[in-house]
């Protein structure tokens, strides 16, 4: 019937339902009791006018936002995507909406602009994926009057933080390789978030404890292709019998490079990854790796954030230990 040229406001609804504006607000928020009959009329008016309350006005008046901002350096890599998914699931269950801000640029100014744009939004809280340098840079720019949670692989701040203890996992994985008889384990690392990632630290620690030589790590980018190039490099070195890669995608690249250079995996060289990517078990050979419950970390991170938002004391920290997944890409030295 009616064809409203402008979107309906709460006043329109009130007029149509024959009640006052606050009464409409009451049925909207459910904050106070309203006579069933009036409630009925209001609800009908809302439908008839296809009224959608303005979040801007609500936030302004109530000083309560319903949006969680997630700041990440990337969104497409497996670990990032899963972590975000976990946060999003937790948030959705509690009625929060997630806004994602990507800060991939190394340009400081651009980071500043992206963060500023995000922070000017009415936000209930912020979650920062501290997986890489952009994440670290972003973290420094979050004002401390905002509920915040950090998600990462190492406990390294005094802020509320959810971690997946990659240092311990890397140590375990390296120990496993050493236990297979390898004299040492080479390491291809992914771009570190800080001076050194937990993955690299754990590897180094295991080697040192075992008294094994510590080879210089090779640096990959996030692209599987860079792993392939490094695989070719590793293939040229006869002394390489075991390689620990920073993540599964790089491991796949390394295996590809190694194989194309004529080295067999795992007969000649053992290769392990990290994360348990969905394709890891599909690979030839199936990848020995470490299962990381990124989505779980995301959910736990959101819980921490929620506690803060609500001002509940709650715990400030949540850590979980990934577990080793033994498949076929690593074996005994000499291919036994």
Extract the tokens encoding 275.
């994360």
Report in angstroms how near the CB of residue 116 gets to a copy of itself at its nearest.
7
How far CA 41 is from CA of 11, 19, 24, 35, 240, in Å, comes to 14, 9, 10, 10, 76
The nearer residue to DNA, 43 or 104, going by C-beta atoms, is 43
Report in angstroms how near the CB of residue 211 gets to a copy of itself at its nearest.
35
The nearer residue to DNA, 32 or 93, going by C-beta atoms, is 32
The residues binding a copy of itself (CB under 8 A) are 7, 50, 52-60, 65-67, 75-76, 78, 81-82, 84-85, 88, 92, 95, 97-102, 114, 116-122, 143, 145, 223-225, 227-228, 249, 252-253, 256, 259, 278-279, 281-284
Extract the tokens encoding 195.
């001076």
The nearer residue to a copy of itself, 264 or 315, going by C-beta atoms, is 264
| Length reported for the chain | 336
Task: Please provide the DSSP assignment of 120-168 as one string.
Answer: TS--SEEEEE-SSHHHHHHHHTS-TTS-EEEEESS---SS-EEEE-HHH
The nearer residue to a copy of itself, 100 or 333, going by C-beta atoms, is 100
Report in angstroms how near the CB of residue 58 gets to a copy of itself at its nearest.
8
The nearer residue to DNA, 24 or 218, going by C-beta atoms, is 24
Report in angstroms how near the CB of residue 70 gets to DNA at its nearest.
24
* Burial state string for 213-226 with b = 16 or more CB within 10 A and e = fewer than 16: eeeebbebebebeb
Dihedral sign from CA coordinates of 223, 169, 294, 159: negative
The residues binding DNA (CB under 7 A) are 6-7, 9-11, 19-26, 28-29, 31-35, 37-38, 51, 53-54, 57-58, 60-64
């Amino acid at each position: 019937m009616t064809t409203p040229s402008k979107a309906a406001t709460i006043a329109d609804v009130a007029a149509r339902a024959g009640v006052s504006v606050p009464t409409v607000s009451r049925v909207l928020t459910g904050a106070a009791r309203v006579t069933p009959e009036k409630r009925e009329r209001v609800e009908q008016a809302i439908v008839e006018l296809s009224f959608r309350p303005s979040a801007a006005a609500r936030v302004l008046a109530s000083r309560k936002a319903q949006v969680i901002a997630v700041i990440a350096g990337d969104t497409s890599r497996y670990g990032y995507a899963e972590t975000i998914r976990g946060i999003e699931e937790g948030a959705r269950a509690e009625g929060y909406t997630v806004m994602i801000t990507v800060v991939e640029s190394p340009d400081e100014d651009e980071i500043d602009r992206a963060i500023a744009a995000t922070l000017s939004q009415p936000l209930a809280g912020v979650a920062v994926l501290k997986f890489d340098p952009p994440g670290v840079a972003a973290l420094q720019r979050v004002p401390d009057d905002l509920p915040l949670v950090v998600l990462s692989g190492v406990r390294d701040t005094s802020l509320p933080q959810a971690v997946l203890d990659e240092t311990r996992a890397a140590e375990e994985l390296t120990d496993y390789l050493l236990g297979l008889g390898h004299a040492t384990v080479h390491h291809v690392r992914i771009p570190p978030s800080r001076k050194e990632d937990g993955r690299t630290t754990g590897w180094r620690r295991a080697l040192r404890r075992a008294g094994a030589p510590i080879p210089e790590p090779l640096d990959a980018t996030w692209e599987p292709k860079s792993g392939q190039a490094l695989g070719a490099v590793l293939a040229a070195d006869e002394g390489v019998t075991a390689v620990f890669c920073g993540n599964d995608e790089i491991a796949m690249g390394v295996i590809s490079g190694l194989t194309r250079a004529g080295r067999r995996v795992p007969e000649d060289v053992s290769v392990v990854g990290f994360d348990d990517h969905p394709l890891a078990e599909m690979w030839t050979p199936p990848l020995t790796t470490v299962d990381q419950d990124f989505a779980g970390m995301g959910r736990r991170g959101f819980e921490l954030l929620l506690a803060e938002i609500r001002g509940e004391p709650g715990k400030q920290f949540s850590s979980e230990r990934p577990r080793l997944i033994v498949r076929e890409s690593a074996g005994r030295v000499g291919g036994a």
